[in-house]
Structure 1
Amino acid sequence: MELLEHQLLEVQRVAGVVQDKLTEAQSAKTLYDRNASSFQYGRLLDCMMEASEHAEWLTDRLRGFVLRNTFNSPLKEDYCLKLVQIHEIRVEYDDCILKAELPMLLPHRKKKYTDYIYKPFFLALQNWCEERQQQGKEIPVYEKATVCFIHEYDKKMPETRIRDHDNIEEKQVVDALGMYFLVSDSGRYLDTYH
């Protein structure tokens, strides 16, 4: 019970940090609106980035907490399915081509935290394979494969969101695909393209 209390207090603390950073970002935005200062715009982005990093940590801790402490199997399965739905991950298979769609930007390869993609994506692939197996449908396994990352950007968003694709973390995605569909992800068996 003491561990549970400690975990809850830590989650609350980080939630407070996220709120503080968002409040600070709002103040920086107000100052930017008044002065159009590049310094204030930079401060706004810094605050949002810090809030986002703490929110990722918070999400990971909350998700881990639920998965570790939910012993009711149907409830846990429902939670895992909701994770996939929240992230709007879709998996399709047609004419020997497996398509997995993640409607989010992949993180920079130097970012420390990428589990927010891996866990829901892994669960989506697991659910998809289980459904295929129950329906008696083929689950493809590729000895040699090519993974193509297709990045789609919203034209309404600033062009600064378009990033160098060679800096994008693809390992988490390839690792998840490898668990279910690849014989190996070594360079002899797998090519990746952006």
Structure 2
Amino acid sequence: MNAALRAERIACQMRNLVCLAAPEKRSGYLKEAADAQGIEIRQDEDLISITLPGLLPKRKQHVNAAFLHEPLNYALQNYLTVHSLPLYRECVVCFSQIYDRNGPFDRVRDYDNL
């Protein structure tokens, strides 16, 4: 587990380094990161759906969520350049976690306090 966390930290640091060295390529890189992570944004009438396939970090581990935040933020900004989103006075945010029943049980995570 420590090796995976170190690899995640290194990947985020590498992304920051690449974006600092070539800021003009940042948006292209973040688009590729969002695509590679499978981030999808859809709108059906008044329902906005954001899909993050298997990307949420474990709740009890204090890891840098930049690997998810930066590509997600890019995807949202990119979506808004093409689509308009309604402004809501009130809304409900729902998290639906869908797991492949053929996968291991230990990947099912507790996000009730998200």
8 Å CA contact retained: 2:41, 2:51: yes
Match of 2:57 among 107, 113, 133: 107
Please show how residues 91-102 of structure 1 align to structure 2 within 5 Å.
91-102=41-52
Please show how residues 125-164 of structure 1 align to structure 2 within 5 Å.
125-132=76-83, 138-164=84-110
Give the TM-score, by structure 2 length.
Answer: 0.87
Runs of 4+ in 1 over 4 A off after TM superposition: none
Residue type at the aligned position of 2:10? L
Residue type at the aligned position of 2:4? S
3-state secondary structure, aligned to 2:41: strand
TM superposition shift of 1:105: 4.1
Q: Which residue of 2 aligns with 1:53?
A: 5
Structure 1 unaligned regions, length at least 5? 1-48, 133-137, 171-194
2:37 matched to 1:90?
no
Change in CA separation of 1:79 and 1:129 when aligned onto 2, cut-off 3 Å: same
Residue type at the aligned position of 2:77? Q
Structure 2 unaligned regions, length at least 5? none
Q: Identity of paired residues, percent?
A: 30
Greater helix proportion: 1
Number of residue pairs matched by the alignment: 113
TM superposition shift of 1:83: 1.2
Match of 1:65 among 17, 20, 26: 17
Give the TM-score, by structure 1 length.
Answer: 0.54
Residue type at the aligned position of 1:165? Y
Please show how residues 5-44 of structure 1 align to structure 2 within 5 Å.
none
Q: CA RMSD in A?
A: 1.6
